[in-house]
Amino acid sequence: MELWIHHRASPFVRKALLAGLELGVEWRVRVVDLGSPAALDAYARVNPNRRFPALRDGELVIWESGAILRYLAATRDPAWLGRTPAEAARVDQWMFWELAHLGPALLGLQNARLGFLPKPGKDEDALVADCERALAVLDGGLTGRRYLAGDAITVADLAVASLFTYAEEASLVPPGYDAITRWLAALRERDSWRATERMKREALAAYGIDLSTRRAPVERGSLDAAERGG
Ligand SMILES: N[C@@H](CCC(=O)N[C@@H](CS)C(=O)NCC(=O)O)C(=O)O
C-alpha cells in the first residue's frame, strides 16, 4: 500500500495518518514535491485534482481523504464505520458536513490567522462568524454523546478532529464550546494524535516555521521541501 502526501503538517493528510495508525496500516509514504512542476504533473496521474492525500492498494487508487478513511476501515475494522445503521448514518452525516461546511469555515480562519495559503477573501469578522456557526452545530452534535456517532470512536471523529490540527495555534475554539473541548481533549490523549502531532511539529520545525509568531503567507512548496530535509 502507498500513501501520497505533500507534508505531514496538513489537516487532510493527518486524517489518513491517524486512520493508518489506529487501524495498524502499513504503507509506503511517498512525499510529492509541490515546488516541482514535473513531480506534480506525475502525481496528477494518481490524483487528477493534484490534492493530498491519495492511496494505492494494488490496482486501486483512491483520492479524497474521507473515501480513504472509509476504505481503510472497511478493509481493516468495519466497526470504525459505525456498528449499527444509525451509527453508520451519523458517520456519513458528519463526514459530508466536515467537507462541505466545517472545513471551509475552520480552514478559512486558520489560513487568515496563521498566514497559510490560500489567503481567504473574507475579513476576519466574517470568517469568525462562519466558524462559530459551524462550531455551534458540532457542539450540539457532541452534547450528551461521547463521540460523533455514539459511544464508540469512528472514522468521523478522526476526519472532523483533523480539521482542528491548528486549533490552538489559530485560537479556533473560543470558550463556551464545552462539548467540543471535551471531545478534542479525549482525541488528543490518543497515541495516534500524539504521534501525528509530533509529525506536524517536526514538519514545521524542519522548515523553521514558528506559528506562535507567524503571520506572513507560507510559501507554496515550503512544507513539502521540509519533509525532504530541504
Ligand atoms: N477534499 C480533499 C481536499 C484535499 C486538500 O485540499 N488537500 C490539501 C492539503 S492541505 C492539498 O492538497 N493542498 C496542496 C495544494 O493545494 O497544492 C480531501 O479531503 O482529500
- Cα 104 to middle of ligand 1, angstroms: 12
* pLDDT reported for residue 168: 95
Three-state helix/strand/coil letters over 104-146: HHHHHHHHHHHCCCCCCCCCHHHHHHHHHHHHHHHHHHHCCCC
* pLDDT reported for residue 210: 87
* pLDDT reported for residue 211: 84
* pLDDT reported for residue 215: 52
* pLDDT reported for residue 195: 98
Q: Which of 18, 30, 51 to mutate to test the pocket of ligand 1 (most atoms within 8 A of CB)?
A: 51
Residue where the block lists cell 490534492:
51
Evaluate whether 18 touches 155 at the Cβ level (below 8 Å).
no
Q: From CA 1, how far away is CA 52, in angstroms rounded?
A: 16
Q: Which of 8, 17, 52, 204 to mutate to test the pocket of ligand 1 (most atoms within 8 A of CB)?
A: 52
Evaluate whether 39 touches 87 at the Cβ level (below 8 Å).
no
**CATH code given to domain 2-78:** 3.40.30.10
Q: What is the architecture, at CATH level 2, of domain 81-192?
A: Up-down Bundle (1.20)
* pLDDT reported for residue 119: 82
Q: Where are the domains of the chain?
A: 2-78, 81-192
Residue 102 is given by DSSP the state I
- Cα 44 to middle of ligand 1, angstroms: 13
* pLDDT reported for residue 17: 98
- Cα 158 to middle of ligand 1, angstroms: 16
Q: pTM (2 decimals)?
A: 0.93
- Cα 176 to middle of ligand 1, angstroms: 30
Residues in contact with ligand 1 by the CB-under-6-Å rule are 6, 10, 12, 34, 51-52, 64-66, 99
Which atom of ligand 1 sits closest to the CA of residue 63? 20
Q: What is the mean pLDDT of each run of 10 residues along the chain (230 residues)?
A: 97 98 98 95 98 98 98 98 98 98 96 88 93 98 97 98 97 96 98 98 90 58 52
